[in-house]
């Protein structure tokens, strides 16, 4: 059976636009609500929220590909860019490169796509890599670019991308398509449709030796930002990583067809879930501000450190709740002091408590529960 790019209609994807028309309308409304939520923050808090969302998206996009970045290093690199204080630690190449790519996307989303932009992104993503032949350029190897699984002596080929000899023409067509279908292009497409097509079209070509998934997701983020005329900060990779098997199953099911209605509707649903997650995270951080306002001037350094650590865990918090042992470990204090500190945090309504004795656990006391 032929791959989709081998079919004579390639790269003319077909889909039923009526099936996603309503989703396109709702997207503009929900994305507007998400961006409006930023009005609850002052400029300092807006920057902190932006850093948190960029960090989370960068982490999750890498995790999808099996690369686990150090969150503290990644966030430190992003904070330096915004001129904020850091611990001045040395940032490893992988974290620095991912941060630089995400920040370039954040600041230059409105620029037309070019080969040079993608080369720069790839060069940043592959920073520090010594195992690749082609960095900052399209792949040149004559070996087939395949996605395989199974045993080395009996591999299962899930997909084979176009050969390197055809990449110049394929990517020239892709760049033209991307810019022509933008809001100011000659044949603009609705945001969700364009985001889904851009991702699928790009990863089908698979133009780089590595990093295609991360760049493909960045292109979808660029599409959404262009449609809203500002950075979206939508947690797209967070949701894809959460449902990674479904993501790869959808890609695999469209390797042999140019009819992509089900892919576009799947990707639209993923974007909506990402918007909901981002809205929940914003509400979480609003409640963080409210909690610290309530207890301002009433915390010692240990208590403040623990609360910040709990918030740093994000929406999921400490798995199973914070224990007294966690408190001792974080603050390097005695068990008796930990008990007094936790009791005071209870009195200040900063924490709530469940369980008894060794099963006692503490939770952030937020106005909204997630």
Tokens standing for residue 251: 């890609």
Does residue 57 carry a pLDDT above 60?
yes
Q: Give the pLDDT score at 370.
A: 46
Does residue 369 carry a pLDDT above 70?
no
CATH 1.10.3290.10 domain span(s) along the chain: 4-283
Buried b (16+ CB within 10 A) or exposed e, 51-87: bbbbbbbbbbbbbbbeeebeeebbbbbbbeeeeeeee
Q: Give the pLDDT score at 367.
A: 67
Q: Which of the listed CATH numbers 3.40.228.10, 1.10.3720.10, 1.10.3290.10, 3.30.365.10 matches domain 4-283?
A: 1.10.3290.10
Q: Which residue has the higher pLDDT, 350 or 153?
A: 350
CB 118 within 8 A of CB 101: no
Does residue 3 carry a pLDDT above 90?
yes
Which tens digit of pLDDT belongs to each residue from 183-195? 999 999 999 999 9
Region 161-188: mean pLDDT is 98
CATH 1.10.10.10 domain span(s) along the chain: 299-364
Among residues of the chain, what percentage have pLDDT more than 70? 98
Q: Taking the alpha carbons of 331, 370, 38, 288 in that order, is the dihedral positive or negative?
A: negative
Region 294-314: mean pLDDT is 91
Q: 39 to each of 26, 35, 152, 243, 282, how far by Cα in Å?
A: 21, 8, 54, 31, 11
Indicate the pairing of strand 146-151 with strand 361-364: unpaired
Q: Give the pLDDT score at 316.
A: 65
Question: Taking Cα atoms as reference points, which of 252, 186, 197, 261 lies closest to residue 224?
Answer: 197
Which tens digit of pLDDT belongs to each residue from 281-300? 888 888 888 899 999 999 99
pTM of the model: 0.86
Q: Taking the alpha carbons of 322, 328, 333, 339 in that order, is the dihedral positive or negative?
A: positive
The DSSP line for 179-191 is: HHTSTTSSS---H
* Range 299-364: architecture per CATH: Orthogonal Bundle (1.10)
Q: Give the pLDDT score at 95.
A: 95
Alpha carbon of residue 238 to chain centroid: 5
Which tens digit of pLDDT belongs to each residue from 317-327? 667 899 999 99
Q: Give the pLDDT score at 311.
A: 87
Does residue 33 carry a pLDDT above 90?
no
Does residue 91 carry a pLDDT above 80?
yes
Distance CA 300, CA 319 (A): 25
Strands (E) in 116-153, as ranges, are: 146-151
Which tens digit of pLDDT belongs to each residue from 110-160? 999 999 999 999 999 999 898 999 999 999 999 999 988 877 777 888 899
Q: Residue 201 in 3-state DSSP?
A: helix
Region 45-74: mean pLDDT is 91
Give backbone dihedrals phi and psi of 72, rounded to 5 degrees, phi first. -65, -40
Q: Which residue has the higher pLDDT, 310 or 3?
A: 3
Q: How many CB atoms lie within 10 A of CB 299?
A: 18
Alpha carbon of residue 279 to chain centroid: 14
Q: Give the pLDDT score at 46.
A: 85
Q: 308 to each of 220, 237, 289, 292, how far by Cα in Å?
A: 33, 25, 11, 10
């Amino acid at each position: 059976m032929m791959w989709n790019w081998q079919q004579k209609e390639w790269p003319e994807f077909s889909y039923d636009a009526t099936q996603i028309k309503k989703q396109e309308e709702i997207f503009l409304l929900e994305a507007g609500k998400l961006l409006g939520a930023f009005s609850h923050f002052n400029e300092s808090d807006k920057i902190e929220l932006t850093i948190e969302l960029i960090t989370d998206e960068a982490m999750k996009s890498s995790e999808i590909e099996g690369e686990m970045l150090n969150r503290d290093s990644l966030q430190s690199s992003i904070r330096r860019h915004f001129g904020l204080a850091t611990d001045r630690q040395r940032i490893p190449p992988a974290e620095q490169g991912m941060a630089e790519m995400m920040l370039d996307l954040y600041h230059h989303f409105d620029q037309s796509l070019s080969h040079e932009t993608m080369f720069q992104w790839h060069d940043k993503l592959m920073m520090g890599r010594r195992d690749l032949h082609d960095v900052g350029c399209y792949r040149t190897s004559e070996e087939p670019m395949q996605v395989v699984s199974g045993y080395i002596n009996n591999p299962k080929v899930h997909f084979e991308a176009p050969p390197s000899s055809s990449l110049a023409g394929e990517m020239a067509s892709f760049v033209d398509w991307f810019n022509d279908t933008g809001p100011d292009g000659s044949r603009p497409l609705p945001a969700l449709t364009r985001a889904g097509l851009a991702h699928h079209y790009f990863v089908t070509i698979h133009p780089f030796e590595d990093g295609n998934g991360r760049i493909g997701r960045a292109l979808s983020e660029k599409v959404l930002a262009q449609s809203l005329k500002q950075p979206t900060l939508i947690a797209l990779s967070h949701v894809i990583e959460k449902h990674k098997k479904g993501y790869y199953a959808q890609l695999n099911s469209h390797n042999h067809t140019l009819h992509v209605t089900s892919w576009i509707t799947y990707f639209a649903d993923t974007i909506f879930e990402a918007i909901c997650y981002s809205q929940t995270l914003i509400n979480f951080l609003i409640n963080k501000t409210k909690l610290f306002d309530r207890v301002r001037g009433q915390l010692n350094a240990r208590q403040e450190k623990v609360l910040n650590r709990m918030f740093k865990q994000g929406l999921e918090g400490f798995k199973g709740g914070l224990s007294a042992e966690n408190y001792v470990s974080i603050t390097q204090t005695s068990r008796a002091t930990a008990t007094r500190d936790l009791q005071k945090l209870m009195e200040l309504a900063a924490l709530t408590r469940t369980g008894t004795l060794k099963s006692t656990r503490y939770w952030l006391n937020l106005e909204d529960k997630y």
